Amino acid sequence: MSETSSSLTLPDPSPRRTTFSGTLYRGNEGMWSWVLHRITGVAIYFFLLVHVLDTALIRVSPEAYNAVMATYKNPIMGLGEVVLVGAVVLHAMNGLRIILVDAWPWATKHQRLLFWIVMGLVAVLMLYFTPTHLINVFSPMDGGH
């Protein structure tokens, strides 16, 4: 009986070759799009959390709220606002790209092109916004931080 059970054993399977070529999310634009979307999403989430908490502070103590708002009025926060707007614009544009890729087969085949279109649009929008905003941030007039 032990003889028949040993003759029925199967040989070890040969190792499978795993390749990642042809995927959207391995080392190419699809992966970077995925990574940037997650990073910007988490950053926006934490900004909104802090924003809600410091805005709610006005109900607890208007003086404490005013003190917190005064700490935000500096040029470093103005630069942070540029980063925040960049994150929101990138997240929004990439979200639209994801909708296109999910909805239309054409977009799936051309996701690399769509990634670069999104990056170009983000760059153009930020090239307009950044100097406009920083002029206000560093202005000695009423609008300055």
117 vs 110: CA distance, rounded Å: 11
Domain with residue 115: its CATH number is: 1.20.1300.10
Residue 145 lies in a domain: no
CA 136 to chain centre: 26
Residue 105 lies in a domain: yes
Backbone phi and psi for residue 24, each to the nearest 5 degrees, phi listed first: -80, -20
Confidence of residue 18 (pLDDT cuts 50, 70, 90): low
Q: Does pTM surpass 0.85?
A: no
136 vs 141: CA distance, rounded Å: 8
61 vs 59: CA distance, rounded Å: 6
Q: What is the overall mean pLDDT for the chain?
A: 87
Average pLDDT over residues 18-28: 60
Residue 39 lies in a domain: yes
pLDDT at 84 over 80: yes
The number of domains in the chain is: 1
Name the residue range of residue 52's domain. Answer: 25-137
Average pLDDT over residues 108-118: 92
pLDDT at 58 over 80: yes
Residue 90 lies in a domain: yes
Q: Which residues of 82-121 are buried (b: 16+ CB within 10 A; e: fewer)?
A: bebebbebbbebbeebbebbeeeeebeeebeebbeebbee
Q: For position 10, what pLDDT does the model report?
A: 75
Q: For position 20, what pLDDT does the model report?
A: 53
Average pLDDT over residues 73-100: 95
